[in-house]
Structure formats: structure tokens, C-alpha cells
Amino acid sequence: MTSQVPSRIVITGANRGIGLEFVQEYLQEGQRVFALCRHPESAPALAEQHKEHPDLLTVLPCDVTDDVSVHHAFDDVAAQVDGIEVLINNSGSYGRKGGTVADLDFREIEAVFGVNTLGPLRVTRAFLPLLGEGNNPKVVNITSIMGSIHDNGTGGSYAYRLSKAALNMATRNLALDLREQEIICVAVHPGWVKTDMGGPEAPLTVDDSVSNMLRLIDSLDAQHSGGFFNYRGRELPW
């Protein structure tokens, strides 16, 4: 983003990987960032960023699966700003990789849904009052091509695939629901990225993924709302 007035950004799952890179790159742009994660006291990289940018970065506890925790995070943000421009729902959980229907652990699937699908809905609903006061507000749900029904040719990873497919539908619903409020909502696949979740064999660096997503987020307008895009802005099949 290049506006002279700093944008106000809320990022969940901000303690590592893609979320942390979003924090770092937005801070480099001079934006006002609220970094949310479950255990800030165990997030040394965020603590270091706060030392470097004490006036731009606020680190807050937030468990996206817990209503009370999310509302406390909202209250903390609302006490400092009267609106936000971007909400990035980045918190994620994978669950068991591979596997067949015989291997399913339904409690695990429910837990993954709680983070990947219900979490973004819970956070978005809580932050609607601030989004409504933002300038050209945007909700960015970090999803995955593994949530694409069209693209699924290998199966497995039930919890992750199902939860991301549901998040894609939730994103489309949010876009329709919030259209009159002019809040843009998109689902973005960050690529296969070298993170704790993506693993060392992933071909894409976190920096490359996030820098491209920042350009995409900056370019979003009403015609994109409800869409499913990769990190370079290419529309993906549902």
C-alpha cells in the first residue's frame, strides 16, 4: 500500500510463517499493524518487531476458536483505532496429512474446522464495526488450492481440504452479505510455501508469496469480491 495515511491492518496467526511476513512487510511500509496470535509471550519474532516499531505494532492475544478471546482482541484494537482497512484471517491448522476414510479422526476434523473455517467467520463478525469505518475495507481469508473441488485429483488430507473448501464458500457468502457495506471479501491461496506447515520441500519462499499477496490486496476492488485467487492474482477454480 502506498497511501500517505497509514492503513490499519489486523492479522491473525501473526507469530510465524506467512502471518509474520505480513507483519514485517506492512511495518516496512509504515502501516499500523495489529498482530494477533494465541500466545504472544511465546512469539520472540513479534517481540523483536515491536522493539523496532513500537509506534506501529501492537501484539495481542487471540484464540480464533474462542468467542471471548476474539472479542477481547476486538476491544483492544477498538480502543486504539476507530477503523481498520484490512483484516487478514491467516490462522491455520492442517491436521493429518494423507489418509483414507478409514483413518478419519472426527475430533481432529472438528478442531481443524474450528480454526480454518469458523475462526475467520468469528473474527470477521467481531471486527465488522471497525471494518465498517475503514477506508475501502477488505477481508482476506488465507485459504488453499487444496480447498478447490475442481483441482482435487489426489484426495487425502480430509480435515484440511474440507475446512478450506468450506472457507471458500464462507468467503463467497461474506462477500454477498457485506456487499451493501462495501466490504471486499476474497479467498487467497498463498502457494506452496516454505513454512512449518508447508515444509522444506515447498518451492516458494514466504517473502515471495507475501510480497505478491500484498500487491494483490492493494489492487482489490468491488469486482474482485467473492473471488478465489492465487498469490499472483490469478483466479482459481472452485
> Which positions are annotated as active-site residues?
160, 164
Write out the three cell numbers for 208. Answer: 515471495
Find out whether 231 and 142 touch, Cβ atoms under 8 Å: no
Q: Count other Cβ atoms within 10 Å, centred on residue 153.
A: 5
Strands 86-89 and 138-142: parallel
CA distance 29 to 6: 8
3-state class (DSSP) for residue 2: coil
Order of strands, sheet of 32-37, starting from the edge strand that comes earlier in the sequence: 57-61, 32-37, 8-11, 86-89, 138-142, 184-189, 228-230
